[in-house]
Homo-oligomer: A and B are copies of this chain.
Amino acid sequence: MKCVTEKSEDKIREAAKRVFLKKGFDGTTSRDIAKEADMNIALTNYYFRSKEKLFLEIFKDVLEDYFQNMLTILNKDIDIKAKISEIIDNDFEMMKKEPDLIIFIMNEIHKAPQRLFPDMSIFRQVRETYLKKQLEEGAANGTLRPMQLENILPLIKCGVEFIFMGKEIHKELFMMNDEDFAKYAEEQKEHIKAMVCNYLVIG
If over half of A's interface residues share one DSSP class (helix, strand or loop), that class is named, otherwise mixed; here it is helix
Q: Known: A150-B170, A157-B162, A166-B106. Contact between A111 and B27, CB under 8 A? A: yes
A 100-120 to B, binary, CB cutoff 8 A, 1 in contact else 0: 100101110111010001001
Contacts of A184 in B (CB 8 A): 150-151
Contact between chains at B103 and A172 (CB < 8 Å)? no
CA distance A29 to B50 in the complex (A): 21
Contact between chains at B192 and A155 (CB < 8 Å)? yes
Contacts of A147 in B (CB 8 A): 191
Q: Which residue of B lies closest to A192 (CB)?
A: B155
Task: Kindly report how many copies of this chain are found in the complex they form together.
Answer: 2
Q: Known: A103-B107, A150-B184, A154-B188. Contact between A123 and B168, CB under 8 A? A: no
Chain A interface residue bracket vs B: 35 or more
Among listed A36-44, A134-142, A193-201, interface-contacting one:
A193-201
Chosen A-B contacts, 25 in total, with CB atoms closer than 8 Å, are A26-B27, A27-B111, A100-B110, A103-B110, A107-B107, A109-B169, A110-B165, A113-B169, A113-B172, A120-B172, A149-B174, A150-B170, A150-B174, A150-B184, A151-B187, A151-B191, A155-B191, A155-B192, A155-B195, A158-B159, A158-B161, A191-B199, A194-B199, A195-B198, A195-B199
